[in-house]
Amino acid sequence: MTATAALPHPVRASSVFFALLRRDVRVARKEIVFFLVRTTMQPLLFVIVFGYLLPKMNFVGRGYQTALLPGILAVSLSLSAIQSVALPMVQDFGWTKEIEDRLLAPVSTQLIAAEKIVAGMLQGVIAAAFVLPIARLVMGPISGFTFSHVGELVAIVLLGSMAFSSLGMWLGTAIAPQQIGLMFSVIIAPMLFFGCAYYPWRGLDAVPVMKYLVLVNPMVYIAEGMRGALTPDVPHMPLAVVGVALVLIASIFWSLGMRSFYKRAIG
Amino acid sequence: MPAIETRALRKVYPAPAAPKRKRGANGAGAATAAAPRSEIVALKGLDLEVLDGEFFGLLGPNGAGKTTTIGILTTRVKPTSGSAVIGGADVASQSVQVRQRIGVVPQRPNPDRSLNVIENLTFHAAYFGIPLSASQPRANQLLEQLGISDKAYAKVDEMSGGQQQRLMIARALIHEPQVIFLDEPTVGLDPQTRLSLWEILRHLHAEGRTIVMTTHYMEEADKLCDRIAIVDRGELLELDTPAALKERAPGGTLVEMSLSGDARPLVEPVRSIEGVLRVETQGSLLRVFSDRGGRVISPVIQTAEENGLSVANISLTEPSLETLFVSRTGRKLD
């Protein structure tokens, strides 16, 4: 009997990480239609009403579309990043306990959480990439829309999706399963409506109190960041401010999400 | 070197802040009924040694600390104090190395329902760094061995409870662990499935694997285990081979009677009945150990009635681990 004498050869953490990611990609691919419907329905409806119907009725000027599109992309990105982490977490830790097979993987518990956040980021990006062409189709040509600031765009998308995916991790592991509905009405809905997604932040000059109140809302920075990168002619928050804010928000949510995941995973 | 070694292993859960019923699953809440705000001591300094290749049983009622022990040994629960080492790696400080050495079959099947049956195995193998080229044949072989190969490409939800439990065993084995933990693996299974699971476990044991199993079924522990640790309320009560434990059980058949009132006045008169070895009471419960089987029942009833007590219920247990457990803890297992 030498079974315990020989140490098993150590597994590379990166290989476990990619195995975990492959699992999430496999599952997401199986559910891609449901995933897209669930996460992009809301922004697409906004595109139809505010980006197509209202301009047609002359309730809003055509310039509104230019301000709206980056906001819609920000909403798609953040909403699906939150949901694709929070919902499985609530389910897995709440009742199915399905995640236990991954918690037994020979890597640190933090790496397992990090993988979930990365998978959420990917799904956020996919949702935004799916919404963009449809929005463009519905709204027609958008004046002032440009892809020339690729570097800024990539940075905003990465930081923003990381912030919201981590927020999803935190909410999904900290909230009781019975309160998941409450999460949408109390946290997500106000975040969307006061997130400067459907109007530019500079437009709030008209309501100064709101202009400063909304700054606590992380959505503001990703919406304004998208505006700065995609429609730079629309008055927006300086990208440097957006960048600093997103780095701060992402690191706060990251550490909250990590801590909360660990607390749920290890008793 | 023992496969598993725990030293003064202790686990204290913080007091639940509000009335919380979640812990009910492992029954740890029961002990704190008197002091609801106090912390819950699930393990009170457990010392165990499991040998290489041993089939080791942790036997105890719900709330004994079995699941907490398995939780600590499988790195899912942090011990409050004390240490536990598996194959030389400490469960708290070297959890990654420990995870590499263990396979776990949970109390309730928790397969990855988003994956099909064989994916459950190949992905689990991938989490242990095993490439698909190696895990696929091994997965097929395991499914074959466990009699569920016809379900390889089925959805997990299409399997019965027993089949899912077998899938959990296959999953626990796919990465060739040195030690396998099974937490109450046969709870909720029908008798036939339970027997076939026993066969599987015997086979694994015969292959030389170290197996740690919790159970609250005496018979299961008796039939399968090389050694059994009897635990209750976070403490180790007995540790030995099933045969030695049974020898240690108080002799004779256990006759238990629930009476209409305090059983204490009966101790002396019952003790003088022929064939009675020992008499214990607990409130209105009278326990008589008899070496004449059930033949003491009628004189005991007579004695009770002479003392103005009527008998509400009678049960008979042959000398076994069960009678040992009852005499050590003052209660039955289930």
Q: What is the mean pLDDT of chain B?
A: 86
Average pLDDT of the residues in B154-177: 92
pLDDT computed for residue A142 by the predictor? 85
User: What is the CATH superfamily name and number for domain B4-244?
Assistant: P-loop containing nucleotide triphosphate hydrolases (3.40.50.300)
Sign of the dihedral through C-alpha B164, B99, A257, B26: positive
- Which among B60, B40, B56, B39 has a CA at the least distance from the CA of B48? B56
pLDDT over 70, % of chain B = 93
B137, amino acid identity:
P
B16 vs A182: which has the higher pLDDT? A182
Pairwise CA distance, residues A244 & A221, whole Å: 10
**A8 confidence band (pLDDT: 50, 70, 90):** low
Residue A4 has pLDDT above 70, yes or no: no
DSSP string, A217-257: -HHHHHHHHHHHHH-TTS----HHHHHHHHHHHHHHHHHHH
Structure token pair of residue A108: 């640190």
Q: What is the pLDDT of residue A9?
A: 65
Give the pLDDT confidence of B221-259 residue by residue, as tens digits: 888 999 999 999 899 988 999 888 887 777 778 888 999
pLDDT band at residue B27, thresholds of 50, 70 and 90?
Answer: very low
Within 10 angstroms of residue B233's Cβ, the number of other Cβ atoms is 18
Shortest CB distance from A101 goes to which of B53, B112, B209?
B112
Using the beta-carbon criterion (under 8 Å), do A100 and B110 form an inter-chain contact?
Answer: yes
Q: Specify the 3-state DSSP secondary structure of B227.
A: strand
Spatial contact of B69 and B43, defined as CB atoms under 8 Å apart: yes
Give the residue carrying structure tokens 């397992």: A112
Q: Taking CB atoms and an 8 Å limit, are A106 and B52 in contact across chains?
A: no
For residue A5, the chain B residues in CB contact (below 8 A) are 1
Cβ-defined contact of A265 to B76 (cutoff 8 Å): yes
| Chain B residues within an 8 Å CB radius of A104 | 74-75, 99, 102, 104, 127
Stated length of chain A:
267
* Residue with the larger pLDDT of the pair A88 and B247: A88
Which residues of A fall within a CB distance of 8 Å from B96?
106-108
Partner residue opposite A103 with nearest CB, options B76, B88, B171: B76
pLDDT at B158: 93
Asked if residue A257 has pLDDT above 60, the reply is: yes
pLDDT band at A256, cuts 50/70/90? very high
Q: At what angle do helices A109-139 and A13-30 cross, to 10 degrees?
A: 40
B126 and A22 within 8 Å at the Cβ level: the answer is yes
* B115 contact residues in A (CB cutoff 8 A): 23, 26-27
Question: What angle, 0 to 180 degrees and rounded to 10, lies between the N-to-C axes of helices A109-139 and A150-174?
Answer: 120
Q: Higher confidence at residue B81 or residue A181?
A: B81
**Residue A6's pLDDT is what?**
43
Give CATH superfamily name and number for B250-318. Answer: Reverse transcriptase/Diguanylate cyclase domain (3.30.70.270)
Indicate yes or no: pTM above 0.90. Answer: no
* Inter-chain residue contact B74 with A16, CB threshold 8 Å: no
What pLDDT does B103 receive?
A: 95
Closest CB to B101 among A8, A23, A108: A8
Mutate one of B100, B121, B171 to test the A interface: name it (highest A CB count within 10 A).
B100
pLDDT at B71: 93
B108 contacts in chain A (CB < 8 Å) = 97
Which of residues 32 through 71 in chain A touch B, CB cutoff 8 A?
none
Q: DSSP state, A8? A: P
Judge whether residue B325 has pLDDT over 90: no
Report residue A244's pLDDT band, with 50, 70 and 90 as the boundaries. Answer: very high
Q: Where are the domains of chain A?
A: 13-265
Contact A101 B114 (CB under 8 A): no
- Answer whether B112 sits within 8 Å of A3, measured CB to CB: no
User: Chain-wide mean pLDDT for chain A?
Assistant: 90
Taking the Cβ of residue A19 and every Cβ of chain B, the question of whether any pair is shorter than 8 Å is answered with yes
Residue B77 in contact with partner chain A when CB distance is under 8 A: yes
Judged against a pLDDT cut of 50, whether residue A5 lies above it is answered with no
pLDDT band at residue A42, thresholds of 50, 70 and 90? confident
Radius of gyration (C-alpha) of chain B in whole angstroms: 23
Other Cβ atoms within 10 Å of B85 Cβ, number = 19
B20 vs A: CB within 8 A: no
Q: Which pLDDT value is given to residue B31?
A: 44
Nearest CA in chain A to B87: A4
Write down the pLDDT at residue B333: 67
Q: How far apart are CA B252 and CA B248, in angstroms?
A: 11
Q: What is the DSSP string of B31-85?
A: GGSS-TTS-EEEEEEEEEEE-TT-EEEEE--TTSSHHHHHHHHTTSS--SEEEEE
Q: Which residues contact B102 (CB under 8 A, 6 or more apart)?
A: A104, B73, B74, B86, B177, B178, B179, B180, B181
Mean pLDDT along residues B157-167: 91
Q: Do B88 and A20 touch (CB under 8 A)?
A: no
**Residue carrying the six token digits 């730079």:** A232
What's the pLDDT score for residue A180? 84
B97–chain A nearest CA distance, Å? 7
What does the pLDDT read at residue B19?
52
**Distance in angstroms (rounded) separating the CA atoms of residues B130 and B99:** 14
Would you kindly state where each structural domain of chain B is located, as residue ranges? Answer: 4-244, 250-318
Residue B35 pLDDT more than 60? no
CB contact under 8 Å between A1 and B53, yes or no, is yes
- A228 to chain B, closest Cα gap in Å: 39
What residues 174-213 of chain B have any CB closer than 8 A to a CB of chain A? Answer: 178-179, 208-210
Taking CA A75 as the corner, what is the angle to CA A152 and CA A46, rounded to the nearest 5 degrees? Answer: 125
Pairing of strands B81-86, B4-13: antiparallel
The pLDDT, as a whole number, for residue A81 is 94
Q: Which two tokens stand for residue A151?
A: 């570097």
